[in-house]
Amino acid sequence: MTPPTPPLTQADIDREIEELHKAGDGQEANHPPRDFAPYRSSVLRHPKQPLIPVKDPEATELSGPVFGVTDVTALDADLTKQHLGEPLGERITVQGRVLDRSGRPVRGQLVEVWQANASGRYLHQRDDHPAPLDPNFTGVGRCLTDDEGRYAFTTIKPGAYPWRNHVNAWRPAHIHFSVFGTAFTQRLVTQMYFPNDPLFAYDPVLQSVTDERARQRLVGAYDHDLSVPEWSLGYRWDIVLDGPAATWMEEGR
């Protein structure tokens, strides 16, 4: 009888990450490998077939986001006011700009966010983390960028949560961001983290970005000018769509 495979420990993951970072030779890449072994589920679900070329480019417009300016309201961008009661947790304001590779603003862009609540739990049927749900916090929002490419959200700082990648695996606090472009086929997804999180070194999702400078671009900066007196702490985080300073996106995952 084959003995059972021992569970992966943090030490096992750390060794794998260190080896892969060394193999990168310090070369910056905007996207990590699609099958980054320490991030176990990426090995199972990353795309293995070549991309399918679009024969009729105009047909992609049929799958584009169909909405008008009036369909996205101010309430959508304030996740603390979407229910009758006040959500629990630290209220924060997150603002930034969506920019192209030349630093020009991307106007009228649909930006979506989703996140765990202050206890580190998502309002999702597959999240069985034994942390409390908040009846006054759904954890999803959206807005349109203005003429300067600016977006703004008011929300609750999410909590860290466990996941089953390996023994004692915890994800740092983060907010998922989605930028749609002009069609659903152009959608880009990324994550914003919070400064000085002690879990950074233990997270294979963040560590899959092997270049340290690119990892740092995923961390929002505390901005006291964005903090609202007696209301919320402010964080600034820009999304750069391409080029040498591009924000890492979850390509093909």
Q: Domain range holding 124?
A: 31-44+65-240
Q: Is residue 171 part of a domain?
A: yes
Q: Write down the pTM of the prediction.
A: 0.90
Q: Is residue 227 part of a domain?
A: yes
Helix (H) or strand (E) holding 67: none
Q: Which residues pair with 236 in a beta bridge?
A: 95, 221
Q: Is residue 185 part of a domain?
A: yes
**Total structural domains in the chain?**
1
Q: Is residue 60 part of a domain?
A: no
Q: Is residue 138 part of a domain?
A: yes
228: domain CATH number? Answer: 2.60.130.10
Q: Is residue 1 part of a domain?
A: no
Catalytic residue numbers?
122, 161, 171, 174, 176
Largest Cα–Cα separation, the chain = 66
Give the pLDDT of the chain (253 residues) as one tens digit per residue: 555 667 889 998 999 999 988 876 555 555 778 889 999 999 888 888 887 777 776 666 555 555 656 688 888 999 999 999 999 999 999 999 999 989 999 999 999 999 999 999 999 999 999 999 999 999 999 999 999 999 999 999 999 999 999 999 999 999 999 998 766 667 889 999 999 999 999 999 999 998 899 999 999 999 999 999 999 999 999 999 988 888 888 865 4
Residue 204's nearest CA partner among 6, 7, 21, 24 is 21
Q: Is residue 118 part of a domain?
A: yes
Q: What are phi and psi of 38, to 5 degrees?
A: -60, -25
Q: Is residue 98 part of a domain?
A: yes
Asked whether 235 and 154 are in contact (CB, 8 A), the reply is no
Other beta carbons less than 10 A from residue 138's beta carbon: 16
Give whole-number Cα distances, 75 to 19, 58, 141, 143, 179, in Å. Answer: 46, 33, 8, 9, 19
Task: Compute the residue count for the chain.
Answer: 253
